[in-house]
Amino acid sequence: MQLYGALLLLPAAILLATFAYLPTIATVINSLFLPGFRGAPTEFVGMENYQVLFDDPTFWKVARNNLIYAVGTIPTSIALALCMALFVNGKLRGRGFVRMAYFTPTILPMIAAANIWMFFYAPQIGLFNKLLGALGFSGVNWLGDPNVALGSVIVMSVWKEAGFFMIFYLAALQGIPPELKEASDLEGTSRWSFFWRVTFPLLMPTTLFVLINSLINSVRVVDHLFILTKGGPNNATNLLLYYVYENAFSFFDRTTAATITVVILLVLAVVATLKFTILDRRTHYQ
Amino acid sequence: MNTTTTYTPRARYVSVPSLETVAAWLLAIIWVFPLLYAFWAAFHPSEFMVNFELFAPLTLENFTNAWSQAPFARYYLNTFALVTGVVIGQFIVCTLAAFAFARFPIPGKNVLFMLVLIQLFVFPEVLIVENYRIASELGLINTITGIGLPYVASALGIFLLRQTFKTIPRELEDAARIEGCNWLEILWKVYVPLAKPTYLAYGLVSISHHWNNFIWPLVVTNSVESRPLTVGLGIFSAPETGVNWATVSAATLLSIAPLLIAFLLFQRQFVQSFLRAGIR
């Protein structure tokens, strides 16, 4: 029995080891070594690569961008997702269409979404600037102005993500017993305080779940940067994973790439801990 | 998604739409607008990109241009091969592992399971540098196998199937064993059929994910022979290639069309699947 069980696990174990565990360990090891020149053995340098990374202002800029990106996208998507769910959970004419409209961006590839938003953001022929021009304002360089570009990327991400989170809120809303609403109507509670006193606390597990997911996405999804900005102008929209990509495949600096990857892994480890401690203790789906 | 709401909000008279209805519709219009705009741009000559005339002439020329300027037929084929291969591989590998986790006495099973769950956070695309090295050592660079293989042992798949398998009553298994079925037959004839909804849900989520996946396929492929649609589209529409925008929007619609149509036809199944795969 035990042998049989182990055999069943074997394919998954081999694949996970090859593409998850070994690369993780190798990444950590690479971040502690410097490669030798032309076949010379690699040299153990301890934390030196981290020292170099932390002295690199670009790294801090990118890390700060990622933080701004997370702070910009997460609360906005969550709030919008909750509004959307409340809208389509009530009586609403054309509810099917509205719900579809909210959810559709979710199933598009990030690349396609970025292409579409490019039509809005492009400096000369983009729709936003044409509209501004028609109203008599001068155009904004949505993706080329370092002060605006990250904001533009954030707006696109919120558009892509909010509908996905909506479905979780909607499912949770439909699980709230209608008696609560009836009771509060009898008491004459206003809708506003019913929402804040009853609905919102009951949705807390969903909010935490969505929060975890959006945190993960904020360090994992950088596809849109390839189309919109390529991390520019002057790294104004560069995010950690894109910076890893640049270091590894444009600058051919695997050591720096490995070191930044470890930083990302640490962020993910924090998120995972958050999930396994807080979320799993507070939600009981099973 | 359940469309029945069991309580009726306070009666409203239909003539004046409430503030909420207006807001809901406004948001919906904002949300579909980018997609509608892509349709507009794709089906009209490029001089109508920012010139909205209701009776602007319709054209399919942008689509024929896109189709002839980049090997989209090949990209389609690659994406189909990739998605099919990944989903079949995931079904097999995850079923076996989930069965072991659900029903076999394995020493240290809980620790092993936690190890599997790590992959819910550490995705192949985060480990892009090392995975590239490993893929090249295995000779998988520029192959469709190379794009798909890192995703085959999916923690999500193992997790969902294990959960489903655990809810299946042991009695069914015992009955099958009395009939003389061995382990594999029990798995195939009892567990797999009863887990069909889970396979459907997980399959749809996996198809959407791999149809849309970009950064890992970008890194691991370097020619038309293996590039999936997303990478093909990304290269085709990169601003520096200077391709006409109407053509880019046609190409964008071409690459999302199959999934978009499938979604519009089977909305309920898609949404249910995302929910099922999400609430874990």
| pLDDT tier at A279, thresholds 50, 70, 90 | low
> pLDDT digits over B206-246, tens only?
998 999 999 999 999 988 888 999 999 888 887 666 678 88
Which residues, other chains included, contact B55 with Cβ-Cβ below 8 Å and sequence gap of 6+? none
What Cα–Cα distance (Å) separates residue A242 from each residue in B35, B103, B124, B125?
26, 42, 14, 11
Q: For residue A190, tell me if it sits in a domain.
A: yes
The verdict on residue A162 lying in a domain is yes
Q: Report, as an integer, the average pLDDT of A94-99.
A: 88
Question: Residues A229-265: pLDDT tens digits?
Answer: 888 788 889 999 999 999 888 888 888 888 999 999 9
Q: How confident is the model at residue B124 (pLDDT cuts 50, 70, 90)?
A: confident
- We report the CATH number of the domain holding residue A169 as 1.10.3720.10
Cβ-in-10-Å burial (0-12, 13-18, 19+) of A64 comes to: exposed
Each residue's pLDDT tens digit, A130-189: 788 878 777 788 888 888 889 999 999 999 999 999 999 998 888 888 888 888 888 888
A230: left (phi over 0), alpha (psi -120 to 50) or beta: left
Per-residue pLDDT averaged across B200-204, rounded? 90
Nearest to A128 by CA among A104, A107, A144: A144
> In the predicted model, what is the mean pLDDT of residues B248-272?
88
Is residue A99 within 8 angstroms of chain B, CB to CB?
yes
CA distances from A204 to A32, A208, A283, B232 (A): 41, 6, 9, 41
**What is the reported pTM?**
0.87
Q: A80 pLDDT band (50/70/90 cuts)?
A: very high
Q: Does A124 touch chain B (CB under 8 A)?
A: no
* Containing structural domain, residue A185: 59-282
For A37, B88, B167, the CA distances from B136, given in Å and listed in that order, are 21, 23, 41
Q: What percentage of residues in chain A have a pLDDT greater than 70?
A: 95
pLDDT of A241? 92
d(Cα B227, Cα B266) in Å, to the nearest integer?
A: 27
SS3 A34: strand
The β-bridge partners of A44 are: A33
For residue A284, what pLDDT band results from cuts at 50, 70 and 90? very low
- pLDDT > 80? residue B53: no
Q: Which amino acid is at B91?
A: F
Report percent pLDDT > 70 for chain B: 89
**A137 within domain boundaries:** yes
Mean pLDDT over the full length of chain A: 86
**In terms of C-beta density within 10 A (0-12 exposed, 13-18 middle, 19 or more buried), how is residue A225 classed?**
buried
Is A34 part of a structural domain of the chain? no
Q: Is residue A18 part of a domain?
A: no
How many structural domains does chain A have? Answer: 1
3-state secondary structure of A44: strand
CA dihedral of residues B45, B50, B55, B60 (deg, nearest 10): 30
Q: How many Å apart are CA A77 and CA A211, to the nearest integer?
A: 10
Would residue A14 count as lying in a domain?
A: no
b/e B123-134 (16+ beta carbons within 10 angstroms → b): bbbbbbbbbbbb
* Closest CA–CA distance from residue A57 to any residue of chain B (Å): 22
Query: A103: distance to nearest CA of chain B, Å?
Result: 9
| Percent of all residues in chain B with a pLDDT value above 90, rounded to a whole number | 27
Q: Are A115 and B249 in contact (CB < 8 Å)?
A: yes
Any A CB within 8 A of B123 CB: yes
